[in-house]
Amino acid sequence: MRSRKGMLGLIAAVLVALTGVGADTFTGSATAAEPGLVVFAATSTTNAITEIGELYAARTMGRITPSFASSSTLAKQIERGAPVDVYLSANKKWMDYLAQKNLIAKESRFDLLGNRIVLIVPMDSPVQQVKVVPGFSVTGYLGRDGRLSMGDPDHVPAGMYGKKALENLGCWTQVKDRLAPMKDVRAALVLVERGETHLGLVYATDAAISKKVRVVGTFPADSHPPIVYPVAVVSGAKIPEAMQFLVFLRSPEARWVFEKYGFGVR
């Protein structure tokens, strides 16, 4: 991983390329980031980004106003002209979508985080372990009328990763008509927390923050594309301030927060 000093130099160079502003302007002062940055981030990063924003403000570097939703919803809002400075996606697809439309500063983009997808059950479920292997019986754990709670596989990254994993394991056909597709991964988590579904597929980081669910199985890393969270400055943003925040996301303090919530920092 790049050191913070090295990353700062890289960001300063990118800043010059994007704006013509010299590196000496990039000071990281408290006033530079005012009146605040709007950060659009995938729902699964809610706890981590909220805490990092608080740290950022505590260091008098500026104020962060985060907005959390599925990566697809946020990308579409950016496309429609929402005033956003930084976008953190839960997969490359939606970042690529914006890049193709020249809606991000492409030179600012980098891969920030990694994650895993897991199967969860309500805390009082009799299911103790699910061996996630090729051909395993998902419906056997759902019961007669139960459904698998997951992000909508048509557009929510966690659901897209989950669908690909189930396809590669030969299990998608048995479960595709037994889904409870949700608007984002946290909504899928809530269904399991309430006992409204017997089984859920969410990110490991979402399962880790809940005291109402248990992880009973983890999908093999090679059963789906790598789970990568890219981040970038949005075109038309407050570029110097946004780049400063990207530097902070690579700082030891931010790394500690991300790892506390179970993310892998790339």
Count of structural domains, the chain:
2
Residue that the structure tokens 């505590």 belong to: 58
10/95 same-domain check: yes
Transcribe 65-104 into DSSP letters: EEEEE-HHHHHHHHHTT---SEEE-SSHHHHHHHHHTT-B
Find residue 229's DSSP bridge partners. 113
**Residues in contact with 69: Cβ distance below 8 Å, sequence separation at least 6, in sequence order:** 40, 42, 43, 77, 183, 184
Q: Any idea what the CATH number is for the domain that residue 191 is in? A: 3.40.190.10
Specify the pLDDT at position 230. 98
pTM given for the model: 0.84
76/51 same-domain check: yes
95/122 same-domain check: no
pLDDT above 80 (res 24) = no
44/87 same-domain check: yes
128/201 same-domain check: yes
The band of 144, judged by pLDDT with boundaries at 50, 70 and 90, is confident
pLDDT above 60 (res 117) = yes
105/25 same-domain check: yes
41/128 same-domain check: no
The span from the CA of 85 to the CA of 79, in Å, is 13
pLDDT above 80 (res 8) = no
The better pLDDT of the pair 143, 201 is held by 201
211/239 same-domain check: no
Write phi, then psi, for 231 (nearest 5 degrees).
-130, 150
Range of the domain at 138: 117-223
32/70 same-domain check: yes
69/194 same-domain check: no
**Residues in contact with 92: Cβ distance below 8 Å, sequence separation at least 6, in sequence order:** 228, 230
Give tens-digit pLDDT for 68-100.
Answer: 999 999 999 999 999 999 999 999 999 999 999
8/108 same-domain check: yes
Specify the pLDDT at position 1. 44
pLDDT above 50 (res 31) = no
106/201 same-domain check: no
